[in-house]
Amino acid sequence: MSSLQVSLGDRSYPIHIGRGLLDDETLFSPYVQAGKVVVVTNETVAPLFLAALSSTLQRLGVSILPVVVPDGERFKTWETLNTIFDSLLRAHCERKTPLIAMGGGVVGDMGGFAAACYQRGMPFIQIPTTLLSLVDSSVGGKTAINHPLGKNMIGAFYQPQVVLADIGLLDTLPDREFKAGLAEVIKYGLIRDYDFLLWLERNIDRLLARETEAVIYAVRRSCANKAEVVAADEREGGVRASLNLGHTFGHAIETGLGYGEWLHGEAVASGTMIAARLSMRLGWLSSEDVERIRVLFVKAGLPVMAPSLGAARYLELMRHDKKVEGGRLRLVLLRGIGQAVLSNQVQDCDIEAAIVDSCT
């Protein structure tokens, strides 16, 4: 097992990375006491891992209140969130009752939002079960639900007490989900860690084969990048926005197609290609740079062309994004591979042209 720290003063917390963490009660004992623990999970994850987690916590004298929600992005709604609150209230959970979110990004986001809201805050633990949630959504404290007009538009910043990144939980992850997670891994190389990008170009086949050493390295390097950015800018006032490379376009794809039609990582990959082509139009990337990015996404099994929603529809959906500032789109672009930049000065005609160039 290896560990690293998200440094946020009195709200700092560790990320533990390795195999078999779910069975190690010593990793839970600092955060749970004898009594009750709420576990928010979904219908896919519960049959796989809930019994193992229950067994570990029972050794600490802890009983579990499982809250099992439907699986899928389309269930990331007020209605599902209210079923979590219903369970907490019926069980007379208290402010100090820990809530564990065990699942992918949807479960982590909803479980974290519930923990942030219930009695104005209860202890929160992340156990991510997908590659995407391991390297991105479980770290940094962003929690939210979707709205029909925009993804993740209703939520709160709420940090966990610990993230337990058990690589073994990825063994049951479908290939499509695993590949979707690689979009967020590749993102770190594109925005700030060029040496990591070089490593990914050399080792993408090892990751696709799920070699343990390669997966642990990629997860740790990704989490270290995320932790550094979050420590510098917890609430996304500046540099943290760079983590959204491809996301403004990607969120438009997810909303426009209907939540769950494309996986988040798939939308981010094709959204990143739009951002790369836009960066090229602005003179910041060469055509060779764009092709290099395209090739890596193709090798990772990710889409590099976006669905044809129409440029006007993209812009309409993007204007509901959280990155809009003063009525202008604030886009994450690339001034070079490994160097992200934020800009709210891009003309709509250039954005539209990049979208058209990127659509099937």
List pLDDT tens digits, range 1-41.
999 999 999 999 999 999 999 999 999 999 998 789 999 99
238 and 198 Cβ atoms separated by less than 8 Å: no
Looking at residue 35, its pLDDT comes to 87
Backbone angles phi, psi at 18, to 5 degrees: 170, -170
Looking at residue 60, its pLDDT comes to 95
Q: For residue 190, give the 3-state DSSP assignment.
A: helix
Looking at residue 154, its pLDDT comes to 96
* Sign of the dihedral defined by the CA atoms of residues 217, 219, 220, 223, in that order: positive
Joined together, the tokens standing for residue 18 give: 């390795």
Looking at residue 275, its pLDDT comes to 98
| Positions of the chain with pLDDT under 50 | none
Q: For residue 262, give the 3-state DSSP assignment.
A: coil
| Closest residue by Cα to residue 155 from 164, 145, 165 | 145
Looking at residue 279, its pLDDT comes to 98
Q: For residue 320, give the 3-state DSSP assignment.
A: coil
Looking at residue 238, its pLDDT comes to 87
Chain centre distance of CA 49: 20
Q: Give the chain's domains with CATH numbers.
A: 2-172 (3.40.50.1970), 175-358 (1.20.1090.10)
- Which residues are tagged catalytic? 120, 142, 184, 226, 236, 240, 244, 247, 251, 264
Query: What's the rounded Cα separation, in Å, for the pair 44 and 64?
Result: 18
Looking at residue 359, its pLDDT comes to 94
103 and 129 Cβ atoms separated by less than 8 Å: yes
Looking at residue 248, its pLDDT comes to 95
Give start and end residues of each alpha helix (H) in 247-310.
Answer: 247-257, 264-281, 287-299
Q: For residue 303, give the 3-state DSSP assignment.
A: coil
pTM reported for the whole predicted model = 0.95
Query: What's the rounded Cα separation, in Å, for the pair 39 and 127?
Result: 10
Looking at residue 34, its pLDDT comes to 78
